[in-house]
Amino acid sequence: MDEIITQLQASIEDEVLSKSERRSLKAIISERPLDQHQLNFLRSKIYEIANERVTPENYAFIIEWIKNANSALMIPSVGSLESSDVYFSPGDACRTAIIQQINNAIREIKVCVFTISDDLISQALITAHKKGVVVQIVTDNDKLLDEGSDIEELAGEGIAVKIDDTPYHMHHKFMVADERALITGSYNWTRSAAKYNHENILLTRESGVVRAYLKQFGQLWKEMQPFA
């Protein structure tokens, strides 16, 4: 761990995280695979190091450095590239899986859901956005004024939101993180879904399935109207 942290600190001092430095980090991690707790610690350390070095002049570099440093930590285990998992509610399993994928995202998060009113999920999206992850949300206009809806808050934080303003419903419930992890299923992103409802989500990294959902998101993003 100390060797990785030393490399991270060295790479930010000259404000260049070169390809060779990234390869070196990946090599170290490949030789001594890290568990989830260690990876989470290193991700926190990346933001701590960046916060110590950031200035108005180097802000753009720091954001890029954070993305590249996190990317260097992503060493998939054997068989993980096409793996799938399922989760069920009531209970916290579905919500936790969604938040974990949001927290793990490095570059982008594409969300396409009927409604969002779970404050824990919304806060995770806001945090990701503030870290420099590009967050896009497509949702249904009929749910915007529901009690507890977080869409206005998310848009107010600067997150790009588009809505279905047709007489029909945009009823999808899926998210793609970094073009590699897909979450989909019946689970509504609401507090009641976690507490009371019998719901499910599928988390998959099967590349063909992920690409199909990305294509659908792209089509909807073109068709839907910006949230004002």
The C-alpha angle with vertex 112 and arms to 207 and 205, in degrees rounded to 5, equals: 20
Q: Would you give the end-to-end CA distance of the chain in angstroms?
A: 46
171 catalytic? Reply is: yes
What three-state secondary structure class fits 41?
A: helix
Q: Are 87 and 50 in contact (CB under 8 A)?
A: no
Whole-number Cα distances in Å, 25 to 52, 153, 184: 21, 38, 33
Please tell me which residue in 169, 171, 195, 215 is annotated as part of the active site. Answer: 171
Catalytic site includes residue 45: no
Q: 38-74 b/e with 16+ CB inside 10 Å = b?
A: ebeebbebbeebbeeebeeeeeebbeebbbbbbebbe
Catalytic residue status for 173: yes
Q: Which residues are catalytic?
A: 171, 173, 178
